[in-house]
Amino acid sequence: MGTGTLGASAAGLGPNTRHRGARAAAIEGRFPGYRVEFGQRWASAQRAVHMTIRPMTRRVLPLLALLVAALVSGCGSSPSQPPASSVAINRAYNTDQSRQAFLIALRRIHAEYIEERALADLVAAGLEGLQRLEPQLLVIRDQGVSVTVRGAGFRLFEAGDRDDPIIWSARLTRAIDWIRTVSQPVVQADQETIFRTVFDGMMTRLDRFSAYRDPQSSAASRNDLHGFSGIGVTIMARDRRIVLQAITPGAPAAEGGLRAGDVVLAVDGRSTEDLSESAAADLMRGASGTSVDLTIQRGDLPPFLVRLIRAQIFNPTVAFRWETGGIGYMRITGFNERTPIMVLDQLTRARTEAGGLQGLILDLRGNPGGLFFEGVQTADMFLSSGIIVSTTSRAPGGTSTRRATGRDMANGVPIVVLIDGGTASAAEILAAALQDNGRAVVVGSRSFGKGSVQSLIYDLPNRGEIRFTSGRWLTPSNYSFDQYGIIPNLCTADDSFDVAKTLTAWRDGRLDLMAAPRQRRALSGQAGEQKVRALEGICPTSTTRREAPEEMQVARALLADQALFRRSARPATSTARRPI
């Protein structure tokens, strides 16, 4: 029995300048005196959507919503006339759409990928991807590239041909058209299958964070990051009826008084009996501002009618609770468009409640990242000055630095940041910005190491998308954490870690507080696995201690001892391994 989140929309292709202005205005209007500012974008920013992605590339992310998405719709060296074939053509495949999609992808990757890639290699790799459909397909590289299938051959190009995306997209399309005349498995494949196999093949020539997503996965990811229009419920089919499984806090369903366990008898008067989850979701979907009437059965009460107004729904990413002594605990699970507003809202409430905020535990453990700009905005809320992050890319003028705008919404209270091996991407930007600026002490294990900028190709004709690495992030102290992660000030990853002994040694100055810049200089001649092993010796990465009480105990103790915190939170970051 599956579940689905209602109100998801396949429309909308990602953030743009207008969205950024609206979100900044929303924050500034809600919190007078706080100004949201951003530096100059890269020269390629009009075409690149700079996002971070979860470190689960090359795997289809679980659908967060039930979606409706529709598929939309030669000049290489080749035989003058393809051989005749009796294979029945699958009309779902469209040559023009394929050429258009390949041109869009090759043009962007060729111009913007972090390291230059020859179009010939990308095209050959794309054709090799078709081996998943046709095992007898061979791509032969000699002075050019040839393709053979079951004894028939096709010469794709000769060595020395120029890198022109228009030429190469046409050649790739022509090669696929030829393969379809001699291969039954390929000719039976629909348009999406061809796209998936070819683009997956191309991605093998790029890094591990570059990936193709089909229209359904693409729409689900957009909904997660940018929200979707709906009522904010998760449903499941049970006993021939539709049951509300979960309610999103603050969404129309929650405001309308609906509860998990309520049974939806009808939607706008139409019975849900024997409806599938997908069909029920279709009835409940609609544009923001429109209404939907639900007939609800709750326990033994008589059925009643609830009218809801659909709205933009965002998955909650921020939770807050009070610890003792005026210490707040804030957990951020990801960065979507509303995360900065949620953080500001919680900080403002905490500052105005009785006693005010005296210290903050910022829990980023297991946070896989999300939107880059929202991660930068969140870091800006805790800093009064300093660099937040810098980016480098191949684009002209591709070095960019983002600085704090000068308003610390936490009023300078001590902060302890918790990280682990599941902390990645925008969450690492936040942790490193607070650590390098001496604003927070970072506790936990080494983070994931997702320090690359992803650009998004979102205008493919099938509404799928390609994410590829177009840059690298640098922390305020000018090091790249890509592949290597953020090293905490206090490493708790060792199973023998003892809170009491560690705190005593820290107070006595007996911890090996090696400055991070000096530590990184010692590793500057190393790279790859050699460097990873060296960092493992300093602080391993771990995701198994996420609920371990030791890290919270250390955080509480640090925030309760202001002198110890001030001595530990310094711009010259340092790493403590264990008492000596």
- Inside any domain, residue 222: no
In a domain, 81, yes or no: no
Catalytic residue among 450, 482, 568, 574: 450
Q: What is the pLDDT of residues 85-132, one digit of tens each?
A: 334 444 478 999 999 999 999 999 999 999 999 999 999 999 999 999
Starting at the edge strand found earlier in the chain, the sheet holding 415-419 runs 318-322, 327-332, 359-363, 415-419, 440-444, 490-491
List the beta bridge partners of residue 296. Answer: 264, 304
Q: Residue 217: inside a domain, yes or no?
A: no
The answer to whether residue 360 is domain-embedded is: yes
pLDDT for residue 576: 44
- Residue 22: its pLDDT value, please? 53
How distant, in Å, are the alpha carbons of 81, 132, 463 from that of 176?
14, 14, 21
One domain for residues 192 and 118 = yes
Candidates 425, 447, 452, 574; catalytic one: 425
**90 in a structural domain:** no
| Apex 10 CA angle, 250 and 254, nearest 5 | 15
Q: Are residues 266 and 330 in the same domain?
A: no
The candidate with the shortest Cα–Cα distance to 338, out of 361, 385, 387, 371, is 371
Domain interval for residue 187: 95-207
Q: What pLDDT was estimated at residue 287?
A: 83
Dihedral angle over CA of 222, 224, 230, 233, nearest 10:
150
Residue 360 is part of a domain; what is its CATH number? Answer: 3.90.226.10
Which of 278, 313, 348 represents a domain boundary (last residue)?
A: 313
Cα–Cα separations (whole angstroms), residue 361 to 38, 279, 326, 410, 572: 27, 44, 11, 12, 21
pLDDT of residue 282: 84
Give the pLDDT score at 573: 42
Is residue 341 included in any domain, yes or no? yes
Q: Known catalytic residue: 512?
A: no
**Pair (303, 331) in one structural domain:** no
Same domain, 329 and 273: no
The tokens for 168 are 């190469």
Q: Which of 297, 313, 329 is the last residue of a domain?
A: 313
Residue 282: active-site member = no
436, 452, 482, 574: the active-site residue: 436
> How much is the pLDDT for 158?
65
- The total number of structural domains in the chain stands at 3
pLDDT score of 527 = 62
pLDDT in tens, 138-166: 998 877 788 999 888 888 776 666 789 99
Q: What would the pLDDT profile of 317-339 be if each residue is shown by its tens digit?
A: 999 999 999 999 999 999 998 89
Q: Is residue 63 part of a domain?
A: no
- Which stretches of the chain score pLDDT less than 70? 1-91, 158-161, 221-228, 511-528, 530-532, 545-547, 572-580
Residue where a domain stops, chosen among 247, 278, 313: 313
- Give a yes or no: residue 11 inside a domain: yes
- Residues 274 and 200: their CA atoms lie apart, in Å, by 38
436 carries an active-site annotation: yes
Do 32 and 112 lie in one domain? The reply is no
Q: CA dihedral in degrees (346, 348, 354, 358; nearest 10)?
A: 80
pLDDT, residue 265, reads 96
Indicate the pTM of the whole model. 0.71
What is the C-alpha to C-alpha distance for residues 474 and 479, in angstroms, rounded to an integer?
A: 5
* 397-452 pLDDT per residue, tens: 778 999 999 889 999 999 999 999 999 999 999 999 999 999 999 999 989 999 99
**Do 179 and 284 lie in a common domain?**
no
Residue 224 has which token pair? 């997660």
Task: Give the pLDDT confidence score for residue 155 in this predicted structure.
Answer: 82
422/556 same-domain check: yes
pLDDT for the residue 256: 93
Residues 183 and 282 both lie in one domain: no
Q: In 298-399, which ranges are E strands?
A: 304-309, 311-313, 318-322, 327-332, 359-363, 387-393
Within this chain, do residues 435 and 553 fall inside the same structural domain, yes or no?
yes
Same domain flag for 134 and 253? no
